[in-house]
Every structure is written in structure tokens, then in C-alpha cells.
């Protein structure tokens, strides 16, 4: 299963907490892509457990897309 969330950066912490509370594995791969397809594109890849902190540390904001699930592990390093 893969979740793709648009316009979710402001509530990312709530989203991750809800997924963990519902039983999603903390080791689930995740990615956030800011300004996708543009020259200034940036991204972060992390496990669900560390995702919110990694996104905050990178300073990612909107517009971003969030991908949660196995396909996120395919993100380029």
C-alpha cells in the first residue's frame, strides 16, 4: 500500500501520529518532495518513525507531496 498526500505538510505530525496509532509500521519508508519537477526541487526520505523530524530538519515546506509506503524507498539518494 502506498499513500500519496497532497497539501499535508502543515498537518504532517498529525498524519504520522494517526498512521502509527492505526498500526502502520514505524519502519515504513516515506518521502517528501518540495517543488517537484522544478529546478529548486528538494526531497527527504526517512522511515515513518523519523519522518517528521527529518522533514523539519531539512526545512521543507509547501508546495510538497508526501509519499508513504514501499514505493518511497525507490527515491533517488
The CATH number for 36's domain is 3.30.950.10
Closest to 70 in 3D by CA, of 51, 44, 48: 48
In this structure, of 43-47, 61-65, 73-77, the range with the lowest mean pLDDT score is 73-77
pTM, full prediction: 0.91
- Count up the domains in the chain and report the number: 1
Say whether pLDDT at 4 is over 90: yes
Backbone φ and ψ for 30, nearest 5 degrees, come out as -140, 155
Sheet holding 2-6, edge to edge: 2-6, 64-69, 29-34, 42-47
* Mean pLDDT confidence for 6-28: 97
Residue 20's domain spans which residues?
Answer: 2-74
Q: Which residues have a Cβ under 8 Å from the Cβ of 35 and sit 6 or more positions away?
A: 41, 42, 63, 64
pLDDT in tens, 43-57: 999 999 999 999 999
Amino acid at each position: 500500500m502506498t499513500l500519496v498526500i497532497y497539501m499535508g505538510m502543515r498537518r504532517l505530525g498529525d498524519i504520522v501520529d494517526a498512521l502509527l496509532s492505526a498500526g502502520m509500521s514505524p519502519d515504513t519508508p516515506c518521502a517528501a518532495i518540495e517543488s517537484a519537477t522544478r529546478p529548486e526541487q528538494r526531497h527527504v526520505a526517512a522511515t515513518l518513525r523519523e519522518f517528521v523530524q527529518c522533514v523539519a530538519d531539512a526545512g521543507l515546506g509547501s508546495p510538497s507531496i508526501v509519499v508513504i509506503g514501499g514505493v518511497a524507498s525507490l527515491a533517488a539518494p
